[in-house]
Chain A
Amino acid sequence: KNEVEQSPQNLTAQEGEFITINCSYSVGISALHWLQQHPGGGIVSLFMLSSGKKKHGRLIATINIQEKHSSLHITASHPRDSAVYICAVRRFSGTYKYIFGTGTRLKVLA
């Protein structure tokens, strides 16, 4: 079993829909990072959080440390949101290296 699990693996939505991507992890972490990767493109940082909730534009990220779970929400989805969304956790370790989920491939149809 992967230490970081994401669901769903693939998601197709209609423009305007509310989208939720989930990330569950089984290890103790010091922070969780949501990343976005467009096809052929680099990785863009969305949020890094260790507790509570963060909001930026149409994106909202929440984390529940006790339940070892985080969600990324996209409100009023748009075709330009189509990308792979990756959850990465940073363990309590001196190297701060990330452990990555396998990603959620989102396609938003116009």
Chain B
Amino acid sequence: GAGVSQSPSNKVTEKGKDVELRCDPISGHTALYWYRQSLGQGLEFLIYFQGNSAPDKSGLPSDRFSAERTGGSVSTLTIQRTQQEDSAVYLCASSNPGGSYNEQFFGPGTRLTVL
């Protein structure tokens, strides 16, 4: 597609449920990033993929969070046993390491609300 897409755009779930967030990067972009923006807070890094491997998972806040990427394209961020503090906007970005500055292009985000 023309840009990074994410789905769903909004997700409301009950505490304790599992959720899956999807990211479709720009075609050909081998690098993919997940970030989180909590209400009133800045953006924080969660995980980085190069191809299908994740060399940097340092930002994942707990073992309830996991992510995978298949076919070097679509990525899924899974949050198990959601907690209210997981409520945030989850943003995905992709880049082409061969491109100028390795500029990251952001998706529209998924707003997650945990009741």
CB–CB B105/A100 < 8 A = no
CB distance from A25 to the nearest CB of B (A): 14
CB distance from B42 to the nearest CB of A (A): 4
B31, B44, B59, B103 interface centre (most CB from chain A within 10 Å):
B103
User: Cβ of A86 < 8 Å from any Cβ of B?
Assistant: yes
Please indicate the chain B residues that have their CB under 8 angstroms from the CB of A44 in the complex.
Answer: 106
**A33, B97: Cα distance in complex, Å:** 15
Contact of B102 among A42, A49, A96, A99 (CB under 8 A): A96
**A50, B101: Cα distance in complex, Å:** 8
Please indicate the chain A residues that have their CB under 8 angstroms from the CB of B101 in the complex.
Answer: 31, 33, 48-50, 90
User: Cβ of B90 < 8 Å from any Cβ of A?
Assistant: no
User: Cβ of B56 < 8 Å from any Cβ of A?
Assistant: yes
Interface residue range, chain B = 20 to 34
Please indicate the chain B residues that have their CB under 8 angstroms from the CB of A42 in the complex.
Answer: 91, 106-109
Number of A interface residues in the complex (CB < 8 A): 24
Please indicate the chain A residues that have their CB under 8 angstroms from the CB of B50 in the complex.
Answer: 95
Given A97-B45, A103-B42, A31 and B102 contact (CB-CB distance below 8 Å): yes
Please indicate the chain B residues that have their CB under 8 angstroms from the CB of A41 in the complex.
Answer: 108
Given A95-B48, A96-B31, A96-B95, A33 and B42 contact (CB-CB distance below 8 Å): no
Q: Which 4 A-B pairs have the closest CB atoms?
A: A42-B108, A43-B106, A100-B43, A95-B56
21 A-B pairs with C-beta separation under 8 A: A33-B103, A35-B106, A42-B108, A42-B109, A43-B91, A45-B103, A88-B43, A90-B101, A95-B48, A95-B56, A96-B31, A97-B33, A97-B48, A97-B56, A97-B59, A98-B33, A98-B45, A98-B104, A99-B45, A101-B42, A102-B42
Other than the given A97-B45, A101-B42, 16 more pairs (CB < 8 A) read A33-B103, A44-B106, A45-B103, A45-B104, A50-B101, A88-B43, A96-B48, A96-B95, A97-B33, A97-B48, A97-B56, A97-B59, A99-B45, A100-B44, A102-B42, A103-B42
Q: Which residues of A contact B (CB under 8 A)?
A: 31, 33, 35, 41-45, 48-50, 86, 88, 90, 94-103
